[in-house]
Amino acid sequence: MIIGAGIVVVALVAVFAVQFFTGAPGASPTAAGSSASPSTRPDPSASAAPSPDAPSPEPATSAAPAPSASQAPPSAAPKPGDAQSVLAAMSLEQKVGQVLMVSSPVTGATPDSLYALDTLYVGNFFMKGRSTAGKSAIAGEVAAVSGHVTGSRTAGALPFVATDQEGGFVQIMQGPGFDTMPQAVEQGELPVDQLLADATEWGRQLAAVGVNVNLAPVLDTVPSEAFAPKNAPIGYFGREFGFTPENVSSHGLAFAQGMAAAGVEATAKHFPGLGRVTANTDTDSGVTDAATVRNDPYLAPFQDAVDGGVPWLMISNAVYTKIDPDNMAPFSPVIVTDMVRGDLGFKGIIVSDDICDAVQVSSVPVAERGVDFIVAGGTMALCTNETLLPAMYNGIVAAAQGDPAFAGRVDAAALLVLQAKAAKGLLG
């Protein structure tokens, strides 16, 4: 049993449970981060620092392979809003598209992004990079990409549209219509009711441009302020809500509840935590956590998020030697299935961190990464390099064609995605 985060989280859940589960608006928003002191962390743009989760857009550099010859149109018209009916109407290729999320630059879709959506049936996309163009321009870009995920290509299933809007150095959508969000370490200094109100407003700003999933909050606990600058993926960028599991839980849950109140699905990340590593899985290989154990107190924020109803959970790319020394976390059945589904009791969407560009996973052929993630128990594989998406897609299709047991896993993952879409009104 994982230890809870204490009295403060229990009180928070009790006060805001109605807002979180019903999606009712929260309190009136307060100016974001108004009482937080400025961060003194180094500016990554001024040094050779590791990059945050969301990489900058890259130009298309490789030709995408053609889809497999077995692609077929839906076999029957699905019943509107019925996930099982929609799944039954899908071809294998369309099912595979539901368990993938491809990137598309927030400044404008690339031919590779559109190829994944138009030809490979990919049913979800992630707005990556940075834009300061503001609400109107960004809404236009989101709508333009969303228009490619409709109709018979996806059996009427509309897309999950994600972005990475944490605050601080990780805020993809900026400009007029978007608040300048403080770093999470500053958000963690706010009263929880103020953070709830601020996050509700930030969520409304995302919903207004067509985003329905935020790949936030970060629930990794950095052990101390002194260690933070050495913790490349989290502490260096001020992405932690604090230095105890209790503070991370209380403020991370407030952030998630604010998103939910605005109609945006929050994502608890990066299970089982990146707060104790030194290297960044985006830019380094061999990133290892040799401290975290299966029933670690630092897992409490993730348990509290699950107990609070957070609908998405992201898996870290690190190796956890005291949990599963033989597998990176996204390819570990112990972590993805035994811990997330078993220990935490999580029933929502398990999404990978980026498993296309991340240097950590570079030793695994791209075509095998999505397969290995689904075999481990994952639901949706995130690829932030659209030029690599076809290899991942074709790898999953080929594996499902050759292995009925794996095809069943794809069906189960696609059904879970479609059920989540039905709950959000995204099935036509």
pLDDT at residue 33 tops 50: no
Q: How far is CA 369 from CA 64, 109, 154, 245, 402, in A?
A: 17, 24, 23, 31, 17
Partners of 214 in beta bridges: 163, 266
Confidence of residue 80 (pLDDT cuts 50, 70, 90): low
User: For residues 227 and 233, is the Cβ–Cβ distance under 8 A?
Assistant: no
Quick one: how far is CA 173 from the chain centroid?
A: 16
Residue 32, token pair as written in the block: 């974001």
- Containing 302, the helix (H) or strand (E) segment is helix 300-307
Model pLDDT, residue 152 = 84
pLDDT at residue 59 tops 70: no
Instruction: Give mean pLDDT, residues 404-425.
Output: 98
305-361 confidence digits (pLDDT tens): 999 999 999 999 999 999 999 999 999 999 999 999 999 999 999 999 999 999 999
Model pLDDT, residue 428 = 74
Backbone angles phi, psi at 352, to 5 degrees: -75, 160
pLDDT at residue 43 tops 90: no
180-195 confidence digits (pLDDT tens): 999 999 999 999 999 9
Say which residue the tokens 């380094």 belong to. Answer: 284
pLDDT at residue 249 tops 90: yes
Backbone angles phi, psi at 425, to 5 degrees: 75, 30
Taking phi over 0 as left and psi of -120 to 50 as alpha, with beta for the rest, 31 belongs to beta
Residue 423, token pair as written in the block: 């709950």
User: For residues 102 and 117, is the Cβ–Cβ distance under 8 A?
Assistant: yes
Model pLDDT, residue 200 = 98
Confidence of residue 89 (pLDDT cuts 50, 70, 90): very high
Q: Give the whole-angstrom CA distance, residue 311 versus residue 265.
A: 6
pTM exceeding the 0.95 threshold for the entire prediction: no
DSSP, collapsed to helix, strand or coil, labels residue 104 as strand
Please enumerate, as own/partner, the contacts of 399-403 that have beta carbons within 8 Å and a separation of 24 or more: 399/371, 400/92, 400/96, 401/68, 401/70, 401/92
Q: What is the mean pLDDT of the chain?
A: 86
Say which residue the tokens 């076999």 belong to. Answer: 75
In this predicted model, which residue has the larger pLDDT, 39 or 132? 132
* CATH code that applies to domain 94-423: 3.20.20.300
Confidence of residue 393 (pLDDT cuts 50, 70, 90): very high
pLDDT at residue 5 tops 80: no
User: For residues 152 and 159, is the Cβ–Cβ distance under 8 A?
Assistant: no
Model pLDDT, residue 53 = 52
Greatest alpha-carbon pair distance for the chain in Å reads: 60
pLDDT at residue 148 tops 70: yes
Q: Give the whole-angstrom CA distance, residue 192 versus residue 345.
A: 26
DSSP, collapsed to helix, strand or coil, labels residue 240 as coil
Instruction: Give mean pLDDT, residues 369-382.
Output: 98
User: For residues 296 and 259, is the Cβ–Cβ distance under 8 A?
Assistant: no
Model pLDDT, residue 79 = 60
- Containing 298, the helix (H) or strand (E) segment is none
Model pLDDT, residue 151 = 80
Which of 39-43, 125-129, 299-303 has the lowest average pLDDT? 39-43
pLDDT at residue 42 tops 90: no
158-211 confidence digits (pLDDT tens): 999 999 999 999 999 999 999 999 999 999 999 999 999 999 999 999 999 999
Q: Hey, where are the domains in the chain?
A: 94-423
Among the listed residues 367, 281, 282, 348, the one whose alpha carbon sits nearest the alpha carbon of residue 320: 281
Percent of the chain with pLDDT over 70: 81
- Containing 354, the helix (H) or strand (E) segment is strand 349-354
